[in-house]
C-alpha cells in the first residue's frame, strides 16, 4: 500500500498501490501503439518480503488507527530494508498528518532524487499539491554565527556546522536553537517563527573562560588572602580561576583560618568565616640559678636540678655521607 493524498484534501486518504497498477494499464491503452508505456510497478504488498513487508503491513494498520508517529517509524524501517521509494511517499503522508511540514518537504525532496520511475505522473501531481501546501505552512531561519565550525541544532535535531549552506526550513511555532563549539560558551535561544516568515538569527559566541566567582565574608578587621596573595579585609568578592586554591583569613589575637577551596567554571562559591580567639594558658616564668632551673606558675615554685654535664654518649661507628642543604639553607 502507498499512502496518497487527493488533490482537494492532501492529508485525508489512503490509496492502494493496486490503483497505480490500474492507472498504468489505462495509460498504456491510451498511448500510441508506436510508444509502448513502461509496465506498471507491482503493488508494495507484492514486492516487499520478510521484515520489510511485516513493517509495511503494521505501518498501514497503525496509520488507519491514527497512530501516525509509529506508522512513520514502521514505514521508515521498511524503506531502510527495501529502498522502495514509494515508502518515502507513505512517510511524507505520515509527517503531513503530524503537522511536521518541514519534514514533508525534506521527504518530497528525497523522493524526487531517488525515484526511478516508480511514481506516475498522477502521483507527482498529488505530491506537488501537497508540497505547495506544506511550503505555505513553514518558515525559514537565516542563522549567522560568529565562529566557523560550530554545531547548530534546532529542536535538538542537527542542522549542520557553521557556516550553514543556506536558510533552514522549520515548522512554524516556537523553535529552540542551540549553537556549540569547543572553547566557547554554549548559546541557546528561542525564536518564534510564523508561517511563511523568515527570521534572521545572528549569534556571537563568547570564549569560555575557566573561572568562577568567590565571595568571602569575615570579621571587619580580618585579612583575606588567597594562594598567599592579600585580597582585602573584612569581605572580598571577585573572579577566580577554576581549580583548587588555599584560603587564609587572619586577624590580631585570633586563630588563623586556613582551608582549601575548589572553584568551578561559571559557579559562585560563598564562604563565611568566623575566627576564634587564641587560647591563653596561665602565666609562667622561668629563670636559671646556678645549676638549677626554677619555674614559677604563680602559686608554687618547682625546683629541679639540671646536670650541666651529662654522661658521654657511647661512640658511633661508621661514616657520614655528603652533607646536603635543608629547607632553611643550612647543612647537616
**Could you read off the pLDDT of 34-55 as tens digits, one per residue?**
444 456 678 888 999 999 999 9
pTM of whole model > 0.75?
A: no
C-alpha torsion sign, points 229, 232, 235, 241: negative
Helix (H) or strand (E) holding 58: helix 50-64
Return the beta strands (E) in the chain as ranges.
138-145, 151-154, 157-161, 168-171, 173-180, 187-193, 198-203, 211-217, 223-226, 229-233, 235-241, 243-250, 257-263, 268-272, 285-289, 292-296, 301-305
Strand 138-145, strand 198-203: pairing: parallel
List, in order of start, the domains of the chain with CATH numbers. Answer: 17-135 (1.25.40.10), 138-203 (2.60.40.10), 211-272 (2.60.40.10)
The phi, psi pair for 177, rounded to 5°, reads -110, 130
**Could you read off the pLDDT of 198-226 as tens digits, one per residue?**
999 999 999 988 899 999 999 999 999 99
* Among the ranges given (153-162, 191-200, 292-301), the one the predictor scored with the smallest mean pLDDT: 292-301
**pLDDT at position 312:** 54
The share of the chain scoring above pLDDT 90, in percent, equals 66
Amino acid at each position: 500500500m502507498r499512502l496518497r493524498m487527493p488533490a482537494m484534501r492532501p492529508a485525508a486518504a489512503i490509496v492502494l498501490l493496486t490503483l497505480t497498477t490500474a492507472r498504468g494499464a489505462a495509460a498504456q491503452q491510451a498511448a500510441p501503439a508506436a510508444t509502448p508505456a513502461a509496465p506498471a510497478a507491482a503493488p508494495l504488498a507484492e514486492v516487499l518480503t520478510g521484515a520489510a513487508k511485516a513493517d509495511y503491513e503494521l505501518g498501514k494498520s497503525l496509520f488507519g488507527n491514527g497512530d501516525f508517529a509509529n506508522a512513520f517509524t514502521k514505514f521508515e524501517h521498511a524503506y531502510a530494508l527495501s529502498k522502495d521509494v514509494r515508502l518515502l511517499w507513505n512517510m511524507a503522508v505520515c509527517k503531513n498528518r503530524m503537522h511536521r511540514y518541514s519534514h514533508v518537504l525534506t521527504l518530497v525532496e528525497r523522493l524526487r532524487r531517488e525515484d526511478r520511475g516508480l511514481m506516475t505522473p498522477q502521483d507527482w501531481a498529488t505530491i506537488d499539491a501537497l508540497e505547495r501546501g506544506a511550503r505555505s505552512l513553514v518558515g525559514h531561519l537565516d542563522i549567522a554565527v560568529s565562529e566557523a565550525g560550530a554545531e547548530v541544532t534546532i529542536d535538538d535535531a542537527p542542522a549542520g556546522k557553521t557556516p550553514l549552506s543556506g536558510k533552514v526550513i522549520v515548522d512554524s511555532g516556537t523553535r529552540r536553537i542551540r549553537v556549540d563549539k569547543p572553547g566557547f560558551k554554549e548559546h541557546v535561544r528561542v525564536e518564534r517563527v510564523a508561517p511563511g516568515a523568515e527570521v534572521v538569527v545572528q549569534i556571537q559566541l563568547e570564549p569560555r573562560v575557566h573561572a568562577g566567582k568567590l565571595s568571602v565574608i569575615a570579621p571587619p578587621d580580618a585579612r583575606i588572602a588567597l594562594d598567599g596573595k592579600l585580597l582585602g579585609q573584612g569581605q572580598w568578592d571577585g573572579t577566580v580561576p577554576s581549580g583548587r586554591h588555599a584560603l587564609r583569613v587572619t586577624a590580631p589575637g585570633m586563630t588563623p583560618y586556613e582551608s582549601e577551596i575548589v572553584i568551578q567554571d561559571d559557579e559562585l562559591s560563598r564562604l563565611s568565616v568566623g575566627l576564634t580567639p587564641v587560647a591563653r594558658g596561665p602565666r609562667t616564668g622561668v629563670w636559671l640559678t646556678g645549676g638549677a632551673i626554677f619555674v614559677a606558675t604563680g602559686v608554687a615554685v618547682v625546683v629541679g636540678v639540671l646536670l650541666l654535664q651529662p654522661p658521654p654518649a657511647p661512640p658511633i661507628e661508621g661514616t657520614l655521607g655528603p652533607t646536603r642543604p635543608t629547607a632553611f639553607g643550612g647543612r647537616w
